Chain A
Amino acid sequence: MMTEFKALAGQTPFRIIAKAGLSLLFVGLATLVSREGLALSILIIFMGVTGPTIRLVTMKMDGLFDRIIVSPASKSRFFFKFAGFWTVAVLLPLIPAMVAVIIPQGPATIIPIISGTVLAVLVGTLAGFVSRGLSEAHLTAILTSGLLIVFSIINTPVATYVPFTALSSAAFEPALLVLPFILLVIAGVTLALTVSRS
């Protein structure tokens, strides 16, 4: 399991420390204007979507992706495992920033943080899977992240289903936390269906 994690989502200690420091600074600055939830959402979306997207595309360019595809391993299981590793890889350096958000907003905030990370990583994995080159991957990642951020901020009917709304909204309602899981299930099923044909 450790080898797989290291292979697919491994981060160097320097990277983890750098990300932790920068994310804490970003969220800390947002705390001054009481927008720490929104700042954390933006970080999770960017890191969660771009990380797995770019990793999968570089694996394609290196020929690693082809080796995985032609192996007898279950592709759905493999890509869910990949998403799981990336969820850990995204959350790990964000721990200090998460603490900075959970303290003022309450422990229930952990639910949108984790479900939001899972959603961002699932979307990122899907984007990486369908992207054919690095420029396409960057474009897909930026578009997806942008859409997620927009839907988290603007008050539309979709916003209720986006986990980050609960995190960034001033009026935080724990009862509404169930709804974002519908979006998570949709993302998971879409990923499973897409990869199973490879």
Chain B
Amino acid sequence: MSAKIEVRGISYQYPGGHGVRDISFNAGAGEVVCIFGWNGAGKTTLLKVLSTLFSPQSGYYCVDGFEVTRDRESVRRKVFPVFDTNAHFSHLTGRENARFFMSLYEVVQSGTLDRIAENFKLDLDRPAGEYSLGMKRKLMLAESFASGRDVLIFDEPTLGLDSTIREAFFSQVREVAKRGTCNIIGTNRIEDAGVADRILSLDKGRLCQAASIEALVARMIRITITVEDRELVEYIPSIDVLPQMIKKILSLGIPRRIEIGETGTEDSLQWTEEAEEKVRHAPPVLQAMIRSLVVRYANDHGYKRITPDVVEEVKKRFEQR
């Protein structure tokens, strides 16, 4: 098994102008390549082109010497895509679903599927209609590994997976990569990107090489959510996304604390007593976050002291968003 992908200047645009433009990269056998991008960056579109669901409108896309516009069926024989939809027949069991999709790839079911399902703690004999989101995801992933294809394409593979299964997934990716499978992972989760050999960052439909995970993290804002005694870390591309993020967090339950930026970092700015008092009026869960936001705003705008007016300005801006 030794497949490689060659992409040169491919574009695919929807009638409204969104999509991907002039994408070029290579991915070799045994490599784990991450295509990192925020929502709307064009990841799914690019992965659909790589999966042959969409034909590129221009450029050159080749898998193992087979060019997609000339020999699409040969490309399809090499690739197994895992879309973000978790599509399965709900009236069939997990095993029957796997049997159906494996038959499309002319794969006779072997012990591989059972072994992977066991790793993923997935009951294959239950109807897929009874599966949770995470279980459907596990079934899709198990099918991809059991397919034995040279190229595996994953769109948001860890969506709905708990941390144990996420680890099992990446260990399986590493195992198939060792056997020469080329893995392309599209994600917007920084911790998933960290597992890849190489990260390609996709922004507004254009691809740029990211030097390292550190370079990627440096461009993002870290959010630390403390729930009971655990700290969960999420990254967002800009402060504009923060209100949505807070809404999402609060819809899942009230955490103990939400912080922005590195935890425990002291700000050197001087706070007036009135400004401190204003922050203390906010719900305790948000106080650390508000402090970080105010400090960030004050630094960006050259304030030396934090007065109630600065806090008020930040509050207004946050509410506007």
Contact = CB atoms under 8 A, between A and B. Distances in A.
A64 B53 CA distance: 12
A3 B99 CA distance: 8
A72 B81 contact: no
A67 B83 contact: yes
A70 B51 contact: yes
Interface stretch (B85-93, B113-121, B260-268, B274-282): B85-93
Contact of A6 (B76, B85, B91, B105): B91
Contact of B52 (A6, A7, A64, A70): A70
A10 interface: yes
Given A63-B83, A63-B87, A6 B96 contact: yes
Given A7-B89, A62-B85, A71 B96 contact: no
Contacts of B89: 7, 64
Interface in A182-198: none
Contacts of A72: 73, 76-77, 104-106
Contacts of B79: 70
Nearest to B87: A63
Interface residues of A, number: 17
B38 interface: no
B87 A71 contact: no
B99 to A, nearest CB: 5
Interface in B95-109: 96-97, 99-101, 103-106
Interface in A77-103: 78
Given A3-B100, A4-B100, A7-B96, A70 B76 contact: yes
Contacts of A70: 51-53, 76, 79, 81
Contacts of A10: 91
Interface in A36-83: 62-64, 66-73, 78
Nearest to A74: B73
Contacts of A7: 89, 92, 96-97, 100
15 contacts: A3-B96, A3-B99, A4-B103, A6-B91, A62-B87, A63-B87, A64-B89, A66-B85, A68-B104, A69-B53, A70-B51, A70-B79, A72-B106, A73-B104, A73-B106
Q: List 10 tightest A-B contacts by C-beta distance, closest first.
A: A63-B87, A63-B85, A71-B104, A72-B76, A72-B77, A73-B104, A64-B87, A7-B89, A7-B100, A3-B96
